Amino acid sequence: MTIPFRRVHLTGRELAYVSEAVESGQLSGDGPFTRRCEAWLEANAPCTRAFLTHSGTAALEMAAILCDAGPGDEIIMPSFTFPSTANAFVLRGATPVFVDVDPATLCIDPARVANAVTAKTKAIVPVHYAGVSADMDALRAHGLLLIEDAAQALLAVRPGAMAAVSFHETKNVSAGEGGALLVNDERFIERAEVVREKGTNRAAFMRGEVERYEWVERGSSFAPGELSAAFLLAQLEEAHAITARCVAIWNRYHTLLDGVVERPRAASPNGHIYYVLLSSEDARRRVIDELAQHGIQAVFHYVPLHSAPAGLRYGRTSGSMEVTEDVSRRLLRLPLWPEMSDAQVEAVAAALAGIARR
């Protein structure tokens, strides 16, 4: 039995929708499929406005522009995240300030944030790791703008002022590549429309609200094409069922591995990632190799940004990073995808238990 780490789930309507988009004659962005995806997100995420983007990274970059991040500004974020979280702000000239994560959730630790806040702090960027929400109430107490990296958290959190989600092929709901910026703060909605449209007032012009279509703001080409939106719509229509199956797999792992290895302390509301924590980096390397001999692909996760070459060049660290450094060495992600069978889940758990016993 070969069990890959991920496999893209297909609902069966993707090709029909893509064909419909081709036949419509509109392949650029903001066609009917884009609008249908955004309407789904506004109803189900939920949010006041959803702006479909070509990636979760693009959504973060939009947020960085909208908050006017620039040279001299500091952005507090966890180090245990993907480089896109930092890159979005580094591209604007701002400085990432890396803080440690809470061992219970692997999300940014609000207690560490307090010591990182300075007069230069522009925003806090919590990352909802594995679909588990950061402690948003504690973070709101700082009174700063919160820009959520919710790349892994579709249907798992209720977005705040701005949240970026991802539809990369590794996510539960996928378009191959894709993302969205979910906005609830009215201050950003009108500008978000302009920033996403290359800094132009095209959307207002197309609605007949202005006489001239012109450049009015900083922006870039953030919208996806209609083929991607068509594929994504088929996925979104099944998102609740996909999520339910991922959660069921997560729960099955959690039951089977009780007493076998160190398990997550917090349940994932969307079942995006099931991880275990092994005794050491060497132990993890051995387990990956032994699982591979069983045909099972398990993988590690982030190299901490604060110790990466670009993190050392563009950012700074606030306080100890002991939890981040510890979990980054020991964390192992197990296979999890919607069409994974119960027998496959049990085979992974049994193989891991056998290795643990030895």
**Final residue in a domain of this structure, among 217, 236, 255:** 236
In a domain, 62, yes or no: yes
What distances in angstroms separate CA 131 from CA 158, 176, 222, 254, 270, one per listed residue?
Answer: 11, 19, 24, 16, 6
CATH number at residue 301: 3.90.1150.10
CA distance 184 to 50: 9
What is the tens place of the pLDDT at every residue in 234-270?
Answer: 999 999 999 999 999 999 999 999 999 999 999 999 9
What is the tens place of the pLDDT at every residue in 269-298?
Answer: 999 999 999 999 999 999 999 999 999 999
Domain extent, residue 332, equals 239-357
In a domain, 297, yes or no: yes
DSSP summary character for residue 127 = B
Co-location of 36 and 168 in the same domain: yes
Q: What residue spans of 271-358 are helical by DSSP H?
A: 281-293, 309-314, 322-330, 342-357
In a domain, 9, yes or no: no
What distances in angstroms separate CA 72 from CA 67, 75, 149, 305, 314, one per listed residue?
Answer: 14, 10, 22, 20, 12
Question: 46: cis peptide before it, omega within 30°?
Answer: yes
Q: Say what the pLDDT of residue 26 is.
A: 86
One DSSP character per residue, 225-266 reads: PHHHHHHHHHHHTTHHHHHHHHHHHHHHHHHHTTTTSB--SS
What is the tens place of the pLDDT at every residue in 47-103?
Answer: 999 999 999 999 999 999 999 999 999 999 999 999 999 999 999 999 999 999 999
* Number of domains the chain is built from: 2
Co-location of 192 and 300 in the same domain: no
Co-location of 36 and 91 in the same domain: yes
**Final residue in a domain of this structure, among 179, 201, 236:** 236
Residues whose CB is less than 8 angstroms from the CB of residue 302 and which lie 6 or more positions away in sequence, other chains included: 80, 81, 82, 328
Co-location of 90 and 62 in the same domain: yes
Co-location of 207 and 247 in the same domain: no
| pLDDT band of 1, cuts 50, 70, 90 | low
Nearest-10 crossing angle of helices 14-24, 32-44 = 130
Co-location of 250 and 325 in the same domain: yes
What is the tens place of the pLDDT at every residue in 102-154?
Answer: 999 999 999 999 999 999 999 999 999 999 999 999 999 999 999 999 999 99
pTM of the full predicted structure?
0.95
Co-location of 264 and 201 in the same domain: no
CB 316 within 8 A of CB 98: yes
Co-location of 249 and 231 in the same domain: no
| pLDDT band of 161, cuts 50, 70, 90 | very high
* Helix H or strand E segment including 194: helix 186-196
Of the candidates 241, 266, 53, which has an alpha carbon nearest to the alpha carbon of residue 162?
53
CB 150 within 8 A of CB 182: yes
Number of C-beta neighbours around residue 218 at 10 A: 14
For the chain, how many helices (H) and strands (E)?
14, 10
Co-location of 191 and 245 in the same domain: no
In a domain, 317, yes or no: yes
β-strand partners of 182? 50, 163
**Final residue in a domain of this structure, among 236, 257, 276:** 236
CA distance 159 to 180: 12
In a domain, 133, yes or no: yes
Co-location of 221 and 250 in the same domain: no
In a domain, 7, yes or no: no
Provide the pairing of β-strand 179-183 with 49-53. Answer: antiparallel
As given in the structure block, the two tokens for residue 328 are 């980054």
Average pLDDT, the chain: 96
Instruction: Let me know the angle formed at the C-alpha of 1 by 7 and 351, rounded to the nearest 5 degrees.
Output: 95
β-strand partners of 162? 147, 183
Co-location of 76 and 220 in the same domain: yes
Residues whose CB is less than 8 angstroms from the CB of residue 37 and which lie 6 or more positions away in sequence, other chains included: 50, 52, 180, 229, 232, 233, 236
Of the candidates 136, 89, 139, which has an alpha carbon nearest to the alpha carbon of residue 117?
139
In a domain, 30, yes or no: yes
In a domain, 2, yes or no: no
Nearest-10 crossing angle of helices 56-66, 83-90 = 40
CATH number at residue 91: 3.40.640.10
Burial class for 233, CB neighbours closer than 10 Å (0-12, 13-18, 19+): buried
CB 102 within 8 A of CB 323: yes
Burial class for 289, CB neighbours closer than 10 Å (0-12, 13-18, 19+): exposed
Of the candidates 57, 52, 63, 59, which has an alpha carbon nearest to the alpha carbon of residue 29?
52
What is the tens place of the pLDDT at every residue in 36-49?
Answer: 999 999 999 999 99
β-strand partners of 95? 74
Amino acid present at 317: T
